[in-house]
Each structure stands twice: as C-alpha cells, then as structure tokens.
Amino acid sequence: MITIKSGREIEIMRRGGKITARTLAMLLRSARAGMTTADLDRLAEESIREQGGFPTFKGYNGFPASICASVNDVVVHGIPDGTVLREGDLLSIDIGTTFEGYVSDSAATVAIGKVSQAAERLLRVTQESLMLGIDKFRRGNRLSDIGHAVQAHAERNGYGVVRALVGHGIGQQMHEDPQVPNYGRGGSGLVLRPGLCLAIEPMITQGGYDVDIQDDGWTVVTTDGKLAAHFEHTVALTEDGPRILTLRDSFEHSDVSRFRPKEEMAA
C-alpha cells in the first residue's frame, strides 16, 4: 500500500532524517584505515541513541547491527565485524533511524585514504546518479522517470546498475510500497504527487550488474568481483518539489538540478 504523508508526518521524518544525516556524516568523517567496521557500528548506535532515535536496522529481519558496512565488491548489507579497513578500500555505509515512529534511510560510499582514480570516478558518478534520480521526483512525473534517469547516467559512464535490489517507499515502515528500481524506461508507473516519501538508492558497479548473496544470508557481492558504490537519500515530495530529508549539510548541495547533464539543461 502506498501511503501519502501529511505535512506533520514529513516534519517528523525531517527531524529523524537529521539524526540519520548527522550520524552518517560523522561515520564518513571517522572511517579510516586501521578501524574495523564493528568500530563504526558502535559509533553509529551511540550517535543515533544519543539523539533520541533508534537504529532501525538492529534486529530488522534478524540483522545484527545498526549499520550495513560494505567493503569494495560488497554492494550492500555487509555485516559489521572485525574486518579492518585498509588504505584504498571503498566503504559503503547504510544507516536507518526510527524517530517518533517514522524511519529515515540513507547511505553513502567513502574512500578510505587514497583510492584509484577509477574508484573516485565510480563514487562521483553514483552520487550524481542519485541526484539526477531525485531531480525527477516531481509532481506529475511518473515513478519510472526516477530509475530511468539513474540508469541513463550510470550507463553512459560505462557502469552497471544493480537490478536485484531497489529503492522503496518509506514512512512508518522502512520498506513501504512502491518499489523504486534504478533502471527502466521512463514515463510509466505511479504518477508522482506531494506527500510521497521515497528512499532512492542507486547501487552502481564497475562491471556487470549481477550480484550474489553470501552464505551469511545478507552480504550482497558483485558476481564479477568488481567494485560497487551505493548512495541513498530519504526524500519527500512537497508542493515545492523534492525535499531531501537526510541531507548532510557539510557534504552536499541541496540544489539537485545542478547535477543535470548539459544537454538537458539546454532543453
């Protein structure tokens, strides 16, 4: 069931989204070579609870931690453990907060120390894909316009778009309808309208888009072992357009239109 949120509900989600954003920003600043992913998980849980939230992931379908920590060819759902981060790794951190009964969900991939130019480019293009998807989350557009924008940008840069996992509606539940694929033809599906809240989350790979799930039942890896990146925001559609509820002030720009490719700006 697709739920339309009231202004009051979106305001609660905005406040919860701030907790998610501040915590994720802190983790992205903190992550460095020599730390373990379990260290980051502890920092995350402390930060969320100190700010009055609950770490949504903890216990979700039995997930044992407050964040997902996915290194290099792990696409998503890596379980924090004693894995030591090394210079040159890519680390994707996914985090969710429940605040006053509403969930916010956000993710970002960060370079540990100095990484290859190819890895840096993957991060940049994945983040741009997210912003271009968000830019299509506008009244009167169709749901598939979002995934189409993500896919077009990723593929014109030579990357793969993971099909097996998708974005989602979000609110009182972390995963609500509709599903939000990161691929597809534009112009079909739900007509977008104010009050919709979506977690938009491109998962982009250096190689093919096929993934496997490891024996722990969670960890999703690229089948070809190539790098993956993941960026996610919880976004509300308001009367004034898309509003990113998990924006990390110090890291990001709220004007998603500046990510539009030049040919589209001219049109």
List of residues contacting Mg ion (CB under 5 A):
94, 105, 107, 199, 232
- Cα(6)–Cα(102) distance, integer angstroms: 12
- Cα(144)–Cα(192) distance, integer angstroms: 10
User: What does the block give as tokens for 93?
Assistant: 């951190």
- Cα(175)–Cα(193) distance, integer angstroms: 19
Which one, 108 or 261, has the nearer CB to Mg ion? Answer: 108
Which DSSP string do the residues of 77-127 spell out, in sequence order?
-PPP-SPBP-TT-EEEEEEEEEETTEEEEEEEEEE-SS--HHHHHHHHHHH
Q: How far is the CB of 262 from Mg ion (least distance, A)?
A: 30
Q: How far is the CB of 68 from Mg ion (least distance, A)?
A: 7
Which one, 45 or 232, has the nearer CB to Mg ion? Answer: 232
Q: How far is the CB of 234 from Mg ion (least distance, A)?
A: 8
Which one, 83 or 173, has the nearer CB to Mg ion? Answer: 173
- Smallest CA-to-CA distance from 90 within 206, 202, 181 is with 206
Q: How far is the CB of 92 from Mg ion (least distance, A)?
A: 10
Which one, 91 or 199, has the nearer CB to Mg ion? Answer: 199
Q: How far is the CB of 174 from Mg ion (least distance, A)?
A: 7
Which one, 41 or 105, has the nearer CB to Mg ion? Answer: 105
Q: How far is the CB of 106 from Mg ion (least distance, A)?
A: 6
Residues paired with 238 in a beta bridge: 241
- Smallest CA-to-CA distance from 94 within 133, 56, 47, 39 is with 56
Which one, 148 or 168, has the nearer CB to Mg ion? Answer: 168
1-14: b or e for each residue (b if 16 or more CB lie within 10 Å)? Answer: eebebeeebbebbb
